[in-house]
Amino acid sequence: MADKTVKKTNSKGESYGAESISVLEGLEPVRKRPGMYIGTTGIDGLHHLVWEIFDNSRDEAMGGFADHIEVTLLPGNRVRVVDNGRGIPVDIHSKTKVSALETVMTTLHAGGKFGGDESGYKVSGGLHGVGASVVNALSVYTRAEVHRDGGRFAQEYSQGKKKGAVKKIGSSKLHGTIITFEPDVEIFKDLKFDLKTIEHHLRQQAYLVKKLKVTIVDAREMDAKVDYSDAYYFKELGLELPTTTFYFEGGLTSFVRFYNRFHKPVHDNIFYVEKEVDDVGVEVALQYVDDVSDRIVPFANNIYNPEGGTQVTGFKMALTRTLNTYAKKNNILKESDGGFTGEDVLEGLTVIISVKLREIQFEGQTKAKLGSVEAQGATATVFGEAFTAYMEENPDDAKAILGRAVLALKARKAAKAAKDSILRKGALEGMTLPGKLADCQSKSAEESELFVVEGDSAGGSAKQGRDRRTQAILPLRGKILNVERARLDKIMQSEQVRNFIVAMGTAIGDVFDLSKIRYHKIIIATDADVDGSHITTLLLTLLYRHFRPVLDAGYIYIAQPPLYKIQKGKSISYAYNDDEKNKIIGKDADAVVEVGEEEQEGDENIAGETEEVEEKKKSNKIRVQRYKGLGEMNPEELWETTMDPARRILKKVVIEDAEEANKIFDILMGSEVPPRKSFIQANAKLAEIDI
């Protein structure tokens, strides 16, 4: 049952009624240009509908009016969001002359932030009603149910239009809002919600609002005939359904601990501050860990800003200034060391920065970057003062943090010396590109491709089979350095990594320049075995940790060479997996006979493992060659299957979830064994083992 003690008025005792809702414009544009309101009509846009409704309930919790939100995935692609807040007002709105609930659900920019008095939201990510109206417009079915003032009210809609008036359907001692919606197939091609995506987003939100309970119920396999209309929360039905609950007393402190669960902390105490300055609420939690990369996770009004913004700028300024001041005051830095740069003090840092503003500005529609100028000064002031006090009060933590920064400073200087040495050496010898690189003739990065291949054998075939005008080949000898825990100075000592960096042309570290990249397609082409997969992972780790803009630009691909060459008489086909092989063999699959290599003598065109299928007519043989590596292909085969732009198959590497990608690299490539062991055990059933 919903909590009956949550208040219905704000801190000043003012009520939240119809007049708290104001109207700016109509709803019709949403269906015409949905991308303007939810970013995309793809899978991200589909999930954005859930975020919009959830944000309305979360805003109630941020205002102190709710403490439990439940999100349920229902049969038939429906989603139900419940909160125990005040309930959307249902009385008649003075301007629209209809119920405030109907106004909220059917009018764009009608929400609790626009009221102009203190009864709406002081701080809001989504605006109560704005998100609801957008979701309503893009749904084939929506139902809003409100428990408020002793009554139970409901209204239904389709594609943003009401199906009837707001009706009182009963009495209730509860309070809150229930929104159920079914996305419109005319708008969204894919209506399948992803449970992991929803759990990830809502876990994040639960960390950001202290003591908010968030429940996620997966009821998609529930009997569609089950009547849940009278149940406020799904647990009241007593059904055994997959359920996940998030509740964090520690808020951002718990969030930092979650991020660092696979790392060894440099200091025990997690720094935390929460304070308001000039109407800007600032909340920061941080901890340094034994890692070379940093994790800066910024939010504004609980909206994640992947591109940072003014709050991150203010934080970095204050962090660098504070550590430099403390280090010089306590003689930790020598005169010859100079001062810390931002790069030095960020190494190994995990920080969550959350700011809350009454009037918020983002750069762009996607809210990826905060633009509100006042957030920079407020963050710098609040964090700078509190972190200075923290360093004074926790000298052991301060010593550990500064010791790490000094190591980073020395590594930066060593890396610069190594880079300068490499550049000088290249200039003196008149050769800047690695000798192993067979470059292409074109100087246009837009049409040029770099194939990074495994070993000299594959490199030889690729060099002979390529299109010399646009395709360059770089063979790698063995496995490259695992850069997950390596500083830049050590990375620059690896010949294989240096060759790759010089071939790309972007440089690395503080002199990285994406505009100087020499190829707009960098294709990783390794063998389809464990070693090949490991090399691919090592390269992706290098790219993710030190060349993230190259990944974000969409320049990285993984080649998909075939596993089989199938010859029927004079006809030759290639299969990329067993299903394709079986489809090509077709009705003759039952006649397959595995033959050892000793039976292949005399056939110079077939190498490696060969299976022969003899039909009743011996004149029509089916030869199936299984490739074990790119080196087994002759130049013509490699061109035909893997390099020819007209026929090849490439997988483009994209980062859908940076936080999840960061976690996976930490687990798989880091120094901590237990997390990797747990990951392998948990995912062993998914592994495709080639024996």
| Cα–Cα separations (whole angstroms), residue 373 to 15, 312, 368, 633, 664 | 32, 11, 15, 59, 35
Instruction: Identify whether residues 278 and 200 lie together within a single domain.
Output: no
The catalytically annotated residue of 117, 118, 186, 529 is 529
In the three-class reduction of DSSP (H, G, I as helix; E, B as strand; rest coil), residue 397 is classed as helix
Q: What is the CATH number of the domain that holds 500?
A: 3.40.50.670
Token duo for residue 406:
């000094």
Which amino acid is located at 69 in the chain? I
DSSP one-letter string for 318-370: HHHHHHHHHHHHTT-S-GGG----HHHHHTTEEEEEEEEESS--BSSTT--SB
- Helices 395-429, 374-393: axis angle to 10 degrees equals 120
Encode pLDDT of 115-159 as tens digits.
Answer: 444 445 555 544 334 589 999 999 999 999 999 999 999 999 999
Instruction: Identify whether residues 22 and 166 lie together within a single domain.
Output: yes
* pLDDT interval class at 681 (50, 70, 90): low
3-state helix, strand, coil in the chain (%, to 5): 40, 20, 40
In the three-class reduction of DSSP (H, G, I as helix; E, B as strand; rest coil), residue 419 is classed as helix
Closest CA to 61 of 211, 175, 233, 284: 211
Say which residue, 21 or 108, is predicted with more confidence: 108
Token duo for residue 328:
């010089």
Q: Mean pLDDT: which of 510-514, 522-526, 528-532, 669-673 is highest?
A: 522-526
Between CA 445 and CA 228 the distance in angstroms is 59
Which amino acid is located at 282 in the chain? V
Instruction: Identify whether residues 191 and 309 lie together within a single domain.
Output: no
Which amino acid is located at 465 in the chain? G
Between CA 520 and CA 471 the distance in angstroms is 11
pLDDT for res 489 = 75
In the three-class reduction of DSSP (H, G, I as helix; E, B as strand; rest coil), residue 73 is classed as strand
Mean pLDDT of 44-58: 94
Q: What is the CATH number of the domain that holds 31?
A: 3.30.565.10
Whether the CB-CB separation of 559 and 648 falls below 8 Å is answered with: yes
Instruction: Identify whether residues 180 and 44 lie together within a single domain.
Output: yes
Encode pLDDT of 268-277 as tens digits.
Answer: 899 999 999 9
Would residue 574 count as lying in a domain? no
Q: How many of the other CB atoms lie within 10 Å of CB of 550?
A: 21
Residue 669: which domain range? 660-691
Instruction: Identify whether residues 293 and 171 lie together within a single domain.
Output: no
Mean pLDDT of the chain: 84
Instruction: Identify whether residues 497 and 551 lie together within a single domain.
Output: yes
The catalytically annotated residue of 149, 190, 456, 531 is 531
Instruction: Identify whether residues 201 and 228 lie together within a single domain.
Output: yes
Q: What is the CATH number of the domain that holds 297?
A: 3.30.230.10
pLDDT reading at 259 higher than 60: yes
The catalytically annotated residue of 344, 449, 454, 640 is 454
Instruction: Identify whether residues 291 and 238 lie together within a single domain.
Output: no
Whether the CB-CB separation of 312 and 383 falls below 8 Å is answered with: no
Q: Mean pLDDT: which of 226-240, 294-308, 374-388, 640-654 is highest?
A: 374-388
| Active-site residue flag, 454 | yes
| Active-site residue flag, 527 | yes
Instruction: Identify whether residues 504 and 400 lie together within a single domain.
Output: no
| % of the chain beyond a pLDDT of 90 | 53
* Number of domains forming the structure of the chain: 4
Distance of CA 513 to the CA centre of its chain: 24
Q: In what order do the strands lie in the sheet with 280-288?
A: 271-277, 280-288, 349-357, 295-300, 303-304
The catalytically annotated residue of 439, 489, 527, 666 is 527
pLDDT for res 630 = 86
pLDDT reading at 180 higher than 50: yes
Question: At 523, which helix (H) or strand (E)?
Answer: strand 521-525
Instruction: Identify whether residues 372 and 279 lie together within a single domain.
Output: yes
Q: Which residues contact 687 (CB under 8 A, 6 or more apart)?
A: none
Q: How many of the other CB atoms lie within 10 Å of CB of 477?
A: 13
| Active-site residue flag, 531 | yes
Token duo for residue 340:
């810390």
Instruction: Identify whether residues 346 and 394 lie together within a single domain.
Output: yes
